Chains A and B, each alone.
Chain A
Amino acid sequence: MTSAALKPSRRAVLQAGVLAGGAMTLGLRAAGAKASVPGALSAFVIVRADGSVEITAHQPEIGQGVKTSFPMMIAEELDVDWSQVKVVQAPGNRAVYGAQIAGGSSATPTQFERMRRLGASARAMLIDAAAKGWSVPAGEITTASGRLYHKASNREASYGQFAEAAGGITPPKPESLKLKDPANFRILGKRVPGVDNRAVVTGQPLFGIDARPAGMVYAAYAKSPVFAGKLKSANKAAALAVPGVKAVIDIAERRDLKTEIDVALPGIEVLPQGIAVLANSTWAALKGRDALDAVWEGGDAAFQSTVAWDAAAAKALKDGPQKPGYINHGDAPAKLAAAAKHVKADYAYPFIAHAALEPMNCTAQVKDGKCELWLSTQTPEDARRMVALALGIKAEDVTLNLMRSGGGFGRRLMNDVAVEAAVIAKAAGVPVKLTWDRGQDFAHDWLRPGGWHRLEAGLDAAGNIIAWHDHFISYGRDGKLDPPAVIDASLFPSGVIRDYRADVTVLPLASTLGWLRAPINNAFGFVTQGFIDECAHAVGRDLVEYRRTLLGAPRAIPIAEEFSGETKADAQGTPYHTGRMRGVLDKAAAMAGWGRKVPARPGMRSGMGIAFHFSHLGYFANVVEASVAADGSVKVHKIWVAADIGRQVVNLSGAENQVQGSVIDALGAALGQRITFADGAVEQRNYGDYPLARMNEAPAVEVAFISTDFHTTGLGEPAYPSLAPALAGAIFAATGKRLRQLPFDTDLLKA
């Protein structure tokens, strides 16, 4: 995720109004938006006459917990009890709610203060209304648990009694509000179960795939498994003969769908050619699609092949880079020439897929020049604009029901399925639910790119790293690395190691790359931390002590022009703080008892590994204790995680859940996930050949949050990258085998 892409693009202003029934609304609208907001859905806070409170959750809920954590921020400053609060989900509408993006772990850092001020603003208006009603100074009124108190005159009232009057009060300037001292927090930092938990465990329709508007038909979409392939033949009669199939519709390719979007990627403007099969059930639609027996040919990506790419990468490593000195900070060649010792290693990692459990789907209705969508998405505004462009209507005429996502991980930043569903629905003339099957979900993912790194470090006489050289190989178009495939010259150790050079080779690719949980970092963390282990090992140093020395004195490493270079827009590293890296490193080491003897386990070789990483504004370190059996299989016993996301954990329960899930997700990726191409298409078709971690592989995960005096930041991503290198370190400690490729080849670990 590019940080530039996530900045709210419109200045927003606070406005309030009175709703029918004496409710006060406090919404947030873009400057210039109409003054009146019809209905409670466009408000963040509604206080009803009976004292109940409705808070709008406006961010896309993809499992990261924002539907709970954001209303908590408002409720804290509104000074109500959490039990008084009812949370309602907002539709996708940037003009009313401001930015609505689930990506880049950006929501909490960019909106924590804003949400708190929304709550504080509503509280101030209620206090003003009570002050007027009681003819007392506002400064003498206190609040607690949704009640107003004036101690001197012994008066009190519920918020509900002044809600209507408060609605007529001009909201205070957000910057004039005094926020609570965190020492007085009663909601933030506590363990608050997700607001949808009861609905989840009773099977209520929450997800995009659960939408069922009246008159809906089910659709499947046949399209080329090779990106932008063309239809050669299809047996429509056979599809129509499948019981339950109602119609087949040809859909033409579109390449003119480029629009102003939050998350820009090459290729997103394409609606692939295909045949929609409409039926009275998803099952019949998918059967009909299969009966088409569609044959495809050509395609921009027909040349793609993992075997050929591997050979091209090997050749580039042998022959030298296409772009020497792509990044050149200081004078790495001179430092390398003068170094006392050199360490060299080649690292590699594959494409991986998002594989969210809820397959890509969208329900759409197009009628009278307007469109209504029911969609699980991380970028609702993008979906509206893309669909509007595809249909030739205005974005304001696209209503988006923002549904809970059955997993995002970055896949639902892309709204290709919404465009397909809307175009099919327009042709069908009835509401359509389009569902991809699992094979399509893999075949048409926006993959985490694979990459290769040939690394060389120069060590001084004491064994410390003084120069770093990388030949980085990844994928791109027109000779340029694709945005998700760049080398990010701002990432650690760049900045700490001043003499840093990276050469680059670009392998051609034509299909879609995207952002996957802790993008770029999820691979670079493995490479960097693994190689630091190798340097420490080469000079017989302890892994923790060696890293402490490398980090040096606690200090902020600033964004420097020399560190920006070509990849400025994607810089996710600097500024970072070496003291915070050291803090999580030391904490994780202490939690796990780093340096202790690992217990012997019969028939197993056991060890511990440690790594840290900074990404998405969060600092994380892991210790992994693992064993390797004689057959090479890896068993992880326990993972310790130390986290520094600033001053305030918003929801301790949700935060811990994110961290535990992230490291086990990363464990699954390290042990088995790999997407390959043959004849232009993705070879993996289902979870059978793309294993995710399962219950029997999931170890205990102990998490500790360190509070530091920095802004509160997000948690969807930064816990992921440091797991794989810590696991590789544990395996090395156990077996003496250094694993330099993801996923780990456990055949190398046989006793």
Chain B
Amino acid sequence: MDEVGGLRVVDVKKSFGGVKALRGVSIEFKRGFVHALLGANGAGKSTLISICTGALAPDHGQVEMDTIPIHLPNPRHAKQNGIAVVHQEPAVMPSLTVAQNLAIEEVGAMAILSRLSPARVRAIARGKLARLGIDLPLDTRLGDLPVSMRQLVEIARALSGDPRVLFLDEPNSSLSHEETDRLLRVCRAMADGGCAVVFVTHRLREVFSIADEATVLRDGLVVWTGKGSSVTIPEAVSMMAGGGTHEAREFTTKSDVVKPAGIVVRVEGLARKNQFVDVNLEVAAGEVLGISGLIGSGRTELVSAIAGLTRPSDGRIMFGGRHRRSWKDPGQAWRAGVSMVPEDRQHDGLFSGMSVEWNMMSVCRSLGIAPISTAAQMVDRLGIKTPSLSVPVSSLSGGNQQKVILARAMLTGPRLLILDEPTRGVDVSAKADIYALIREQASEGCAVILVSSELDEVIELSDRVIVMRQGGIVKEFGAHPTSSQLIATAFGEEA
């Protein structure tokens, strides 16, 4: 083994409330190499980066820097160890100027009342930008600039400390081609200067153009690691998708139940600024429409508009025989028979301090909808494990909380059920229950829209699958597409 040093993770495991995000990952990020970290949504990339940069502590395993085990209790500590990170969501201060944002670490290190002329701040900032070879308007408030500039500021800050290891988590998701090219060149130069560069991106072609090494993660495990040149993009895609494992399916969905006569919802030319464009789709009664695509492809934004949480800027929604430009408010959609199970149940779903019963009945009661059954019946039907109906919903496990949210949606007797990541952070048995429930709803004639990052879930449950990329529908598949097809389409690498 050649001793180049770098960052090594050894048998790292991490779970979130029973859900295993990393199941024993060992990777070496060598100094002097650009390492592409690949994987579909939920493969464990972000968790791994958080552990390597001190934002999360591993449950098991360790991190070694130049073969010496290091303990990273917080991000600051990681930084002192020469580990820098460019976050997907830039951590910047929008009402400060570009120059102040760039210089903030130096400013923080100064004596508290040091005189600091704007010229000096600008000089520090310029020094950092020079390295990237870019020019930004230094005196403009950062919040007034487009997101790409914020990302450049974050990148410039990360590069400036001469890091030994540099993690870039989707650094170019909002950069132009020119800016991306420059970033890739800088990464190359950093690596040549002895830094270990770890690159996460969904734009495979770019990363393959500079990666020396690559690792593919799937379901919290390393499925492949090796030289970047020894794998082709289609091969990488099929490894990310885990091709071949889903051939045997126990369930087949009933796609023969209904067709056009039973269209429940039709969306025509729907668009919302900077989120999605010109979306056309329809869902029939008893049909499950799966929506696949990467995070940020506009999936959540689209279903939020269909459910009346946001107003689309263009297009129309046909539901219950009426055409609308948009719903007046979510309540109108609920009353008409559209139920939404949001992606983030903690923020957008549950009233965590209130009881199980209160949560289940919250929509029906506040909107005056007659519930289709009692809360107690729902607890039985969904197999919700709770000591009583009156305990706070926050005392339940994640899976049971999710079932409460599902119960709330079902109690309104929906004709269209919209599920955004319905099994996120849910354990295996609850997952099976939720799948059964979705099928049951469909077989009772409910139209279902299922948004999910879990390919198996989409493939197994959907009668049709549409794939979104960059705010538009790029392809539609019938029942049971392969996971490779979905991944390749989502990444824009379809043959």
Q: Do A and B come from one complex?
A: no
Q: Which A residues contact B (CB, under 8 angstroms)?
A: none
Q: Which B residues contact A (CB, under 8 angstroms)?
A: none
